[in-house]
Each structure stands twice: as structure tokens, then as C-alpha cells.
Amino acid sequence: MKEFTEEYLDRMRDIAAARNEEEARKELEEMHPADIAELYQSLDLKEAEFLYDLLDEDTRAEVLMELDEDDRRKLLADMPAMEIAKQVIDHLDSDEAVDLIQELDEEDREEILSHIDDMEQAGDILDLLKYDEDTAGGLMGTEMIVVNENWSMPECIKQMRMQAEEIDEIYYVYVVDDEERLKGILPLKTVITHPSVQKIKSVMEDDPVAVKADTPIDEVALDFEKYDLVVMPVVDSIGRLVGRITVDDVMDKVRESSERDYQLASGLSSDVDADDSIWAQTKARIPWLLIGVASGILASVILGGFESQLQAVSALALFIPLIGGTGGNVGVQSSAIIVQGLANGSLDVKEFGKQVWKEFRIGLLNASVISLVTFVYNIFFIPDDFAVTMSVTLSLFFVTMFATLLGTAIPLTFEKFKINPALATGPFIQITNDIIGILIYVYVSSWLLGMFAA
Amino acid sequence: MKEFTEEYLDRMRDIAAARNEEEARKELEEMHPADIAELYQSLDLKEAEFLYDLLDEDTRAEVLMELDEDDRRKLLADMPAMEIAKQVIDHLDSDEAVDLIQELDEEDREEILSHIDDMEQAGDILDLLKYDEDTAGGLMGTEMIVVNENWSMPECIKQMRMQAEEIDEIYYVYVVDDEERLKGILPLKTVITHPSVQKIKSVMEDDPVAVKADTPIDEVALDFEKYDLVVMPVVDSIGRLVGRITVDDVMDKVRESSERDYQLASGLSSDVDADDSIWAQTKARIPWLLIGVASGILASVILGGFESQLQAVSALALFIPLIGGTGGNVGVQSSAIIVQGLANGSLDVKEFGKQVWKEFRIGLLNASVISLVTFVYNIFFIPDDFAVTMSVTLSLFFVTMFATLLGTAIPLTFEKFKINPALATGPFIQITNDIIGILIYVYVSSWLLGMFAA
């Protein structure tokens, strides 16, 4: 990865300040659009714009797509719809064009679409816009080489040469029948190794892995990983080829969705990055913190009802952190395993009962170990308070069992009702188990202290 | 993705029980190795082995690599070294062969290597074994089409046809100079569109994105994502082409490492999945749970030194969960943002001071809101205990500030000393902040109660 040193950035700043077009062009010429975008974002807006204006339209469109959404939005805000259509959209692949258009306001969309000269591209974009963003259709592009199964290889190669100019990267040729149904794929390697075959259907790979356009993105990603794919064809409900998905788009989605799960598990309520503003970060953090405060206050109210006992047996108060902390830790572990299993396909929500039963046994094991350790410690170090020892030990046992089952059942239930199970981890589980832990502790110790007092 | 229904599995079980080879072969014929592996893992060992033995050697090797590590180990345990060398390694790409050999015991490795007939492959594997598993060298394979920059396209195509049989997937041809230094890449598309070019250096893409063999895998993955690559060439320190990395291996690593971060943040000390055994899962969970218990006991000792005050002002005990919980939540948020920023490249450890200062201001904002909310609640609902209100409010402020800074500084410090920063999230931060929170609470309230009493 290109790392821009401070010296390099200073040099570019000087070039931009001097408006030295020749020198700037020389620097930019050999740079990858992704690097230019990084440079753009490391410079002041004025410097960045000077460099951006020197690029040719193709590179400009590519750099634009590599920028952060905020920067892209700012750049586009200054461009008239006609310019966006002709200078940007026209140079993008259909899937990128659709991503860009989806970022715009509803009213701008129509206007931009009306300015696209290439009617075929405009039609493709309109078709793609109909698909749900979170499905294979929303991720696919339409740039691909399509040939008929009955063609000969020389015909196929001629067709490829004609279509190849419009398409940046080609790894496979798609083979369809007369009804446009996907019949096979032809790796470019086969094209080169079998240049004179009479019917390409005799050398194509039959039954290629393909997805229906309405397949959720998560499943598409798992398929890419399972079959080690680079590109995957997308078909409609009757098997006609409608597009293709490339691995780079899938990788972005995999990273996005695992980052999102991690953030949810860490109590961040919206997508933030370390380089986001203080304000954006506070907005993402404060909701769960306030829910935490509310639950802490609720805990104080519950404990308040128990205040006379806390006063009488003050040793009970000392173990409040132990009870709450253990419940939280146990619950977070269970929920993390469920959420991850659902995400990577190793767990199916249909196995609800089986998984709960399994977690029940794991909980039993953990609860026994934890209670035993605590019991032994208390017996040795606070031997004169047997009622407290028993209260803490028993409460820990129940809290661990309860937290395990809750940590399993809540994310599975969320999944069942099509709610993101990752919401049911981290602070949600932690806080729920804190409160339940304290309730269990209060009731168990009241009961035991009553028994021992009698 | 292929989903095996229970009916289908039953049918396959019947076929295996009847040892109906013809029917079984018909089913397996059209199946992708990844699907066969899934089927294998859904059946009993005996049924699975019956099907496995029907496969040709190539497919058998591929299925083997798609199995879970445990199943693969079991299968290999029954095979003599000679068979592993000739029937498995011989059919694998060099990078897969290396992965497989690395899973074996030290003593088996040598023996298997000695049985490989193809001296070139044996040499490649030995070379690859020298690289660190977590670097580009450890991930790369050596199967690629390499041509000289001065060749003509027809020469290049001839060479491709010769080499192509040994290589499953080809997307690019690598172009080197007479000293084997990487000079460019040739997309297969160019081969087809420019079939008669005299010197391929005139049509190759110069300056391809490449990595040095000792580049850490995380950086390789970020490069793949940044430049939307499908395959990336690997060079040695003087620029000679030594191998290539394919996107499917990178994707596996990206998923693995983000799953690992998520697990660490959830208090799981080793890599487990929802379908792992109860025993494996307990082993992964119990360490952090016991650390949690130890810290809970430590908290009870700290609070014990404070018992007379808790007895005198019992309302203090009610807010213990609020203080500990808030510290934990705040710290987990900060550390998650740091860990994720380091992982996706949006944050550089060189910005240590800048990031701490930023978090300081975010902490100030959060601490003010949290303390204010708690103060207002206490003033309204427990108005007669002003000393307690002030103790809780002030403690919460300090705890939030402290937890924010700790949640930022610890993962950054870990990263600086090349320890995985993901270790410094989740239960680690939660527990540390719990204890520190209680210490702050004890000291602040002792001081304030002393003041109010005076």
C-alpha cells in the first residue's frame, strides 16, 4: 500500500500552491485512482481540487468512487446534473453507477438519468435500481461478455474483441442458450487453449455456481467463500442471465457487515470510525451509555428495596460487582458464539432447541466451576459468614445459568424474527444480565438469610 | 449455496448403506468439491468414507482441503506418508500443499516431502515453508504463467498453452525481464484482443500493484480491498517475481481475523464455533470467566476496606452497579473504535497522542452528560442524601474520563509493542474498569463523606 510521507505531501502542496500543472500531471500519471483518492483526502480542498481538475474524465470518475462518501457528496454538490451524467456516470460500470445514484437525493436521480446519452446504459441502471440493495441484484453489474452455446470459438473470440473495449476486467465468458438462460461459463484460459473449437458448449463448464437476483448478500458472500469465486453470474427466477457480481464488491460487504457486528457488540449505535468527528462519535456512543446509566439507576432502586438487609449484613454489598460482572461476561460469550455462528453459516436458526440444550450443558459446566471457586474462596477467607457464602455461591450458579440461556435465546429469537441478531450482544446482554443478576442475588440472599436467621 | 435437505441426506445414507456405487457416482459427479465436503461432514464416518473412496484423486484432494481441520486430520491419520505425497500433495496447488503440510507433525513432514516425485513441486514447497505464515510469502502459491517482456504475443500464447494444463485458474500473465524481475502484468483480455503483438512489453500494464514477500497479511488484505484485486504478484527484496496470492485466500484471512477480533472482544480465549463440542467451548470460555470471578473477589476486598462506611451510609452500596457498569461500557466503546481503526487502516499508531487527545474530548462530553443525568435523578429522587449524590456524580465523571483514556491508550500501546490490540477490548477493559471504578468510588466518597461530616 502506498504510504504518503509528510515530505511527499508537502511537495504536492507546494506543487498545488504554485499551480504547477506539468509537475502535478507527472506525479498523477503513474498513480492508481485509489491512491489519488487517498492523496485527495490528505490535502486541503483547494489543493485537492487543483489536482482533481487535471485528471482525465475516466480517472476522475474512478477517483470519485474511491473517496469517502462525505467527500464524494461535497464534490458532486458542485456539479450540475448534466455533468454528473456525462462526466461521471458515463465512465462507471453499471453497479458503481447505481451505487452513486443511490447516494443522491430522489429529485436529482431522475434528472441525472435523463441526461445519460447511452440509452442501453440508462436502461441497465434503471433495471438495477429496482433491486433491493441487500440482495444479489443490488450488488450486480451488467458488464459481461455473453455468447451463445452454439457459437464456435472463433465467433466467440470475435464477439469478445468487439465487447472487450467497454469492459475493464474479464475473467469469464458467460454462455447462454437461445432463450438467454445461463448454460455455462468459459474461463478465458479455455478460450486461449481451445482456439478453434466448433461449438463452445463442448468446452464450457456446465452448471456454474450462480445465484438468483433476490438472494440476500450474506448468502452471496458465503457462496463466494465456499466456492472460491472471483465473479458469480446472477440469474432471474427462470434462469436467464441478468448480471454478474465481482469479488471486490463482496469483500467490501463482508468487511462492512463484520465491522457492524463488532460495533453493535461494543455498544456503538451507528457506524463510526476512528477518524470521524468528536460529535459523530459522541452521537454513536451516548445512547448505549445512557441506557447503561438508566439500568444502573434501576439496579440502585432494586437494591434500595433490600437496603435494610444490606445494612444488617453489610458483607452482602461487597459481592455485588462479582454477581453483575459474571452475568455480563457469561451472556456476552454465549451471544457472541450464536451471532458469529449465524453470520458464518455454521449455525442454523432451525436448530434453536438443539443449541439452547447445548448451551444449557455448557452453562451447567461453567456455573459449577465458578460457584465452586467462589465457595472455596469464601470458606477460607470469610469463614464466619456462612449465610453470605451460600448466598453468593447459589446466586452465582443461577446467574450463570440464566445468563447463558438468555445469551443464546435472545439472538436466536431476533434471527427468527428477521431482526439483526448482533443487536442482542454486548451492552444489551450485559445490561440485561446485570439487572437479572441483582434480582437473583436479592431474592436468593433474602431467602437464605431468612432461613439462617430462623 | 447448496442446502442438503434431510430427505436428500437420507437418500445418500441409503445409497451408502446399500454400497450402490453406480448411483453414488452419479450423484457425486455433478457436485462441487466444497459441496461434497459438506455432504461428507453431514454423514457418518462410514458412509462418508464410502463416498470419498469413489472420487477420483483430483477431487479427493480438493474435498480433503475443504473439510474442517479436525476431519482432515482424521482422514490423513489413516494414510501412509507415501499416499499423502502421491495422492494428495501431488494434486494440490503449492499454497494449499504448504497449508496441509503445516498442519502435520514435524516428523511426518520430512517423510512426506521425500515421497514427492515432482522435484520442482517439492522444491517450491520447501521454499514456501520458509516464509512466516502471517506474511505474503506464507499465503502465496507458485502456480502462474510467467513470460519475458521481449517475447511476442504468439510466443506468449504458446507458452501459456504449455503451462496452462497445470494451472486451474488463470486471470493474468506475469511479465518479467531477463533477471526475473516483475515488469508488468498482462490481463488475459489483452492476450485475446492483441493476438499478434511483436513485443508484449508494449501492451502489458506497467507498474502492477505487488507486495514484498515479508509484508504482513493484514496489509496484503487492505491492498486487495483498496485496489480491487483478484490476484496479486509477490516479489522478493530485489523485485524478482516469487509467487502470487489469490483473492479467495485473502478473503478467508479477512473473515478469520475479524472473527478472531470479535471473539477476543467477547471474552473467548480460543477460536470456537457454535458447532464445536461442549468441552471445546467450555475451554474457550472458562479462562475469562475465572479472571472475571477473581476480579469480582478483588472488588469485594476493596469494598471490604470500606465496609464501615457502607454500613454507616448504606445508600452508597446501591450505586456500585452503576459505577462499574458505566466504566465498562465506556471503555469497551473506546477500545472497539481503536481496534477497528487499526484493523481497517483508518487509524495509524503514529497518531497516538492525537487520538488520545481526541478521546479525551469525547470522554469529557460523555462524562458531562452522564454525570448531569445522574445528578438530576438523584437530586429529585433521593434529595436527602446530598453527600451520596455528590459522591456518585463526581465518581461517574472520573470513571468515565478514566475509562475512555484507558480504552484508548491500552490497545494503542499493545499495537505499538506488536501485541494484538484486540486483546485489549471486551472483558479485559471491562474488568480493569470495574476495579478502577470501584477504587475511584471508594476514594471519592470517603473524601466527600469526610468533608460533609466535618
Query: Which tens digits make up the pLDDT trace of B387-407?
Result: 889 999 999 999 999 999 999
**Can you tell me the distance from the alpha carbon of A388 to that of B67, in angstroms, rounded to the nearest whole number?**
51
- CB-based contacts of A286, cutoff 8 Å, min separation 6: B366, B369
A315 shares a domain with A286: yes
pLDDT digit string, tens, across residues A172-198: 999 999 999 999 999 988 888 888 899
Indicate if the alpha-carbon torsion angle B205, A11, A5, A40 is positive or negative. Answer: negative
The number of CA neighbours under 13 Å toward the Cβ of A273 is 13
**B206: which strand partners?**
B184
**Can you tell me the distance from the alpha carbon of A340 to that of B22, in angstroms, rounded to the nearest whole number?**
40
Q: What is the pLDDT of residue B74?
A: 87
Interface predicted TM-score (ipTM): 0.84
pLDDT digit string, tens, across residues B127-158: 999 999 889 999 999 999 999 999 999 999 99
Looking up cell 507498474, which residue turns up?
B207
To the nearest whole angstrom, how far is the Cα of A100 from the nearest Cα of chain B?
17
Residue A270 falls within a domain, yes or no?
A: no
Per-residue pLDDT at B306 exceeds 80: yes
**A187: which strand partners?**
A172
Burial zone of B430 (CB within 10 Å; 0-12 exposed, 13-18 middle, 19+ buried): buried
Of the candidates A231, A246, A261, which is a domain's last residue?
Answer: A246
Per-residue pLDDT at A116 exceeds 60: yes
Per-residue pLDDT at B10 exceeds 80: yes
- Average pLDDT estimate for B3-16: 87
Element (H, E) at A233: strand A231-235
Q: What is the pLDDT of residue B347?
A: 86
**Can you tell me the distance from the alpha carbon of A370 to that of A322, in angstroms, rounded to the nearest whole number?**
11
Residue B253 falls within a domain, yes or no?
A: no
A25 shares a domain with A166: no
To the nearest whole angstrom, how far is the Cα of A189 from the nearest Cα of chain B?
6
**Can you tell me the distance from the alpha carbon of B232 to that of B209, in angstroms, rounded to the nearest whole number?**
7
**Can you tell me the distance from the alpha carbon of B433 to that of B19, in angstroms, rounded to the nearest whole number?**
62
Question: How many Cβ atoms sit within 10 Å of the Cβ of residue B10?
Answer: 10
Looking up cell 452513486, which residue turns up?
A100
- CB-based contacts of A151, cutoff 8 Å, min separation 6: A159, A199, A200
- Average pLDDT estimate for B297-313: 87
C-beta of residue A429 within 8 angstroms of C-beta of residue A421: no
Q: What is the pLDDT of residue B454?
A: 64
- Average pLDDT estimate for B323-338: 91
Residue type, A414: F
Look at chain B and count its residues: 454
- Average pLDDT estimate for A280-291: 90
Q: What is the pLDDT of residue B33?
A: 92
Residue A163 falls within a domain, yes or no?
A: yes
Q: What is the pLDDT of residue B208?
A: 92
A232 shares a domain with A300: no
B198 shares a domain with B165: yes
Best probe of the A interface among B293, B323, B374, B379, by most A CBs < 10 A, is: B293
The larger pLDDT score, comparing residue B386 to residue B242, is at: B242
Residue A259 falls within a domain, yes or no?
A: no
**Can you tell me the distance from the alpha carbon of A145 to that of A175, in angstroms, rounded to the nearest whole number?**
9
- Cα B444 vs. chain centroid, distance in angstroms? 42
Cross-chain Cβ contact B289/A330 below 8 Å: yes
CATH number at residue B344: 1.10.357.20
B231 shares a domain with B211: yes
Cross-chain Cβ contact A332/B426 below 8 Å: yes
Best probe of the A interface among B161, B314, B351, by most A CBs < 10 A, is: B314
- By C-alpha distance, the chain B residue nearest A279 is B362
- Cα A444 vs. chain centroid, distance in angstroms? 42
Give CA separation, A66 vs A34, A70, A83, A242, A256, in Å: 6, 11, 19, 26, 15
**Can you tell me the distance from the alpha carbon of B318 to that of A438, in angstroms, rounded to the nearest whole number?**
11
- Average pLDDT estimate for B284-295: 91
**B135: which strand partners?**
B216
Residue B409 falls within a domain, yes or no?
A: yes
Per-residue pLDDT at B161 exceeds 90: no
List the beta strands (DSSP E) in B298-423: none
- Which long-range CB contacts under 8 A does B73-82 form with residues at least 24 apart? B73/B103, B74/B45, B76/B104, B81/B108, B81/B111, B81/B112, B81/B115, B82/B115
Q: Tell me the pLDDT of chain A averaged across its residues.
A: 89
Dihedral Cα A396, A398, A404, A410, nearest 10 deg:
-130
C-beta of residue A235 within 8 angstroms of C-beta of residue A135: no
B198 shares a domain with B49: no
Q: What is the pLDDT of residue A70?
A: 83
Burial letters A397-412, b for 16+ CB under 10 A, else e:
bbbbbbbbbbbbbbbb
Angle CA B135–B137–B140, to nearest 5: 115
- Average pLDDT estimate for B367-381: 93
Per-residue pLDDT at A1 exceeds 50: no
**A205: which strand partners?**
A185
Give CA separation, A39 vs A19, A204, B303, in Å: 16, 44, 54
Q: What is the pLDDT of residue B240?
A: 96
- Which chain A residues touch B192 with a CB distance below 8 Å? 157, 160-161, 164, 188, 191-192
B441 shares a domain with B310: yes
The larger pLDDT score, comparing residue A120 to residue A34, is at: A34
CA-wise closest residue to B135 among B208, B210, B209, B218? B218
pTM score of the predicted model: 0.85
- Joined grid coordinates for residue B376: 438530576
How many structural domains are present in chain B? Answer: 3
What helix, strand, coil percent values describe chain B, rounded to 5? 70, 10, 25
- Average pLDDT estimate for A1-23: 85
Q: Is B235 touching A (CB cutoff 8 A)?
A: no
Mode of pairing for the β-strands spanning A145-148 and A172-176: parallel
To the nearest whole angstrom, how far is the Cα of A434 from the nearest Cα of chain B?
8
Q: Is A266 touching B (CB cutoff 8 A)?
A: yes
B232 shares a domain with B188: yes
C-beta of residue B147 within 8 angstroms of C-beta of residue B156: yes
Per-residue pLDDT at A454 exceeds 70: no
Cross-chain Cβ contact B285/A325 below 8 Å: no
pLDDT digit string, tens, across residues A17-41: 999 999 999 989 888 999 999 999 8
Q: What is the pLDDT of residue A83?
A: 87
Element (H, E) at B424: none
Give CA separation, A80 vs A50, A88, A107, in Å: 19, 11, 13
CA-wise closest residue to B162 among A387, A45, A55, A192? A192
C-beta of residue B278 within 8 angstroms of C-beta of residue A365: yes
How large a percentage of chain B has pLDDT more than 70?
99
- CB-based contacts of A412, cutoff 8 Å, min separation 6: A338, A349, A352, A355, A356, A421
Of the candidates A246, A267, A288, which is a domain's last residue?
Answer: A246
pLDDT digit string, tens, across residues A44-70: 888 999 999 999 988 999 999 999 888
Q: What is the pLDDT of residue B246?
A: 93
Give CA separation, B375 vs A283, B63, B329, B380, in Å: 21, 63, 19, 9
Dihedral Cα A257, A261, A263, A266, nearest 10 deg:
-170
CATH number at residue A194: 3.10.580.10
B214 shares a domain with B127: no
Give CA separation, A51 vs A56, A67, A80, B430, in Å: 11, 14, 20, 47
CATH number at residue A43: 1.25.60.10
Residue type, A389: T
- Average pLDDT estimate for B207-224: 93
pLDDT digit string, tens, across residues A369-387: 999 999 999 998 887 788 8
A15 shares a domain with A45: yes
Sheet of strand A231-235: strand arrangement? A211-212, A231-235, A241-246
To the nearest whole angstrom, how far is the Cα of B155 from the nearest Cα of chain A?
13
Residue B270 falls within a domain, yes or no?
A: no
Residue B219 falls within a domain, yes or no?
A: yes
Taking only residues 278 to 297 of chain A, the set having a beta carbon closer than 8 angstroms to any beta carbon of chain B reads 278, 281-282, 285-286, 288-290, 292-293, 295-297
How large a percentage of chain B has pLDDT more than 90?
48
Cross-chain Cβ contact A318/B300 below 8 Å: yes
Per-residue pLDDT at B2 exceeds 70: no
**Can you tell me the distance from the alpha carbon of B414 to that of B433, in angstroms, rounded to the nearest whole number?**
17
**Can you tell me the distance from the alpha carbon of A145 to that of A160, in angstroms, rounded to the nearest whole number?**
6
Taking only residues 28 to 67 of chain A, the set having a beta carbon closer than 8 angstroms to any beta carbon of chain B reads 30, 32, 34
Per-residue pLDDT at A2 exceeds 60: no
Residue type, A76: L
Please name the member of A224, A258, A321 whose beta carbon is closest to the beta carbon of B438.
Answer: A321
Q: What is the pLDDT of residue A186?
A: 92
Q: What is the pLDDT of residue B1?
A: 44
Looking up cell 463466494, which residue turns up?
A224
- CB-based contacts of A290, cutoff 8 Å, min separation 6: B369, B370, B373
Looking up cell 438487609, which residue turns up?
A309
Of the candidates B139, B165, B189, which is a domain's last residue?
Answer: B139
C-beta of residue A426 within 8 angstroms of C-beta of residue A332: yes
Burial zone of A366 (CB within 10 Å; 0-12 exposed, 13-18 middle, 19+ buried): buried
B372 shares a domain with B323: yes
Q: What is the DSSP string of B179-205?
A: T-BEEEEEEHHHHHH-TT-S-GGGTSE
Q: What is the DSSP string of A295-345?
A: HHHHHHHHHHTTHHHHHHTTHHHHTHHHHHHHHHHHHHHHHHHHHHHHHHT
A314 shares a domain with A190: no
**Can you tell me the distance from the alpha carbon of B339 to that of B349, in angstroms, rounded to the nearest whole number?**
11
The domain of B154 spans 145-246
Residue B271 falls within a domain, yes or no?
A: no
Cross-chain Cβ contact A303/B317 below 8 Å: yes
**Can you tell me the distance from the alpha carbon of B78 to that of B87, in angstroms, rounded to the nearest whole number?**
13
